[in-house]
Amino acid sequence: MTNQTVPKTAKLTFGDQELDLPVMVGSEGEVALDIRQLRAKTGAITYDPGLGNTGACQSKITFLDGEQGILRYAGYSIEELAQKSNFVEVMWLLLHQQLPTAAELEQFTHEVTHHTMLHENLKQLFSSLPKAGHPMAVCAAAVGALSTFYQNASANSPQQNWIDAVRLLAKMPTIAAYSYKHSIGQPFMYPRNDLSYAANILHMMFATPCEKYEPNPVMARALDLLLILHADHEQNCSTSTVRTVGSSGANLFASVSAGISALWGPLHGGANQAVIEMLMSIRDGKRSAREFMELAKKKDSGVRLMGFGHRVYKNYDPRALILKKACYDVLGQLGRKDPLLDIALELEQIALSDNYFIERKLYPNVDFYSGIIYKALGIPVEMFTVFFAIGRMPGWIAQWLEYQRDPEAKITRPRQIYMGATPRAYGQVEKR
């Protein structure tokens, strides 16, 4: 259906009532029925578990077409950005929905670079937490704690919002690295202003005061690529969480802390960790890849295929295609081999030739190959989701800022269909 043939209204018949619902058409042709007056005029609401058919906002940040396998940031294809751009430039693109000029990029890079240090008192938060605590829990706590250090943070001040956005983009890698260093009992490493964004992350993760450490440029570029691919993905669970918390008037730090917690779930950002654990179990077990895939088709086997399928994509995730090639490039340039990549390729080959997986449109997603690259970079498995959070940070912030500027934005308050008990009398405990 083209824009020219889309009707301006859709007629809804509800009992003896007829209601004309305005029809909205997005810039990429997506059609939506405007039901904002539905309850007021009919007393009825819609029922949409998971909100998969509900448009909660209008956005200019990210477009994806799951049927065609398309992902664009503000109109720029993920393939072109992955090849030509860098993560700091992508940050600006998401925040402003346009690419920066050379002067803007230089100034923005300077600002992000020179806000990477954490307040010394924040170190006490890390030291007060158990070393065995999951780094995502530590990061959520630390980002939330930034509100206590920057008490001017507010959802009502555009100028302050920009300052807080730069602070959070700059400090998230430091928080992530500190969470790792705390877990292994090593001293925290201060950020270096002479390094790129990705190289600085590697420095804070792997350097020690004992000897000089220079990040490998191949590893830094591979990490930069991963961050670009994770930067935003429309209204996913964690992004909608950031928007929902921000709709209450909560500041940026509090809203993003909630987003980190949402991302931690194994059905969301935690999936990349689950993929590596699955590949390692095949490598270390007695089952072949084909035997594993046969078990994955049986509901009662207890075996689940991780890294395949997506809530939105019903085609090959374009990010997975980029990362599949990157696996070869990174491992080749580092002079390494990884049997997990061989297992992953075999699993993919089986899935793409087996009618069971084809009919269910189970194609590799971004989590399937990202873990292999993280592993090649020396990133521990428990830190995979933390690095996902670093990458998703500009998307969360852009979405939060867009919500604050939206004149139609309201506090998020879904309705429900009550299915509980009808009115009943209270009985004294001794008579129940």
Residue tagged active-site, from 310, 317, 338, 354: 310
Q: For residue 186, give the 3-state DSSP assignment.
A: coil
Could you say which DSSP state residue 153 is in? Answer: -
Task: Give the number of residues written for the chain.
Answer: 432
- Tell whether the torsion through CA atoms of 335, 337, 341 and 345 is positive or negative: positive
- 251 class by beta-carbon count within 10 Å (0-12 exposed, 13-18 middle, 19+ buried): buried
The H-or-E segment that residue 224 falls in is: helix 217-229
310 tagged catalytic: yes
Tokens of 385: 């989701």
* Beta bridge pairs of residue 76: 73
232 tagged catalytic: no
Asked if 394 and 94 touch (Cβ cutoff 8 Å), the reply is yes
Long-range contacts of the stretch 292-300 (C-beta < 8 A, 24+)? 292/347, 293/347, 293/350, 293/351, 293/354, 297/356
Q: For residue 280, give the 3-state DSSP assignment.
A: helix
User: In whole angstroms, how far apart are CA 328 and each of 222, 243, 322, 332?
Assistant: 11, 37, 11, 6
Report the distance separating Cα 131 and Cα 5, nearest Å. 60
The angle, 0 to 180 degrees and rounded to 10, between the axes of the packed helices 158-184 and 135-149 is: 140
Tokens of 167: 């602070």
User: In whole angstroms, how far apart are CA 55 and each of 25, 32, 51, 52, 400?
Assistant: 12, 7, 8, 8, 16
Residue tagged active-site, from 164, 232, 338, 367: 367
User: In whole angstroms, how far apart are CA 42 and each of 37, 48, 49, 74?
Assistant: 8, 18, 21, 37
Asked if 67 and 361 touch (Cβ cutoff 8 Å), the reply is no
Question: Nearest CA to 61 among 242, 222, 196, 221?
Answer: 242
Asked if 321 and 370 touch (Cβ cutoff 8 Å), the reply is no
Helix residue ranges, H only, 298-365? 318-333, 339-351, 355-359
Question: Nearest CA to 60 among 44, 74, 80?
Answer: 74
| Active site amino acids | 310, 367
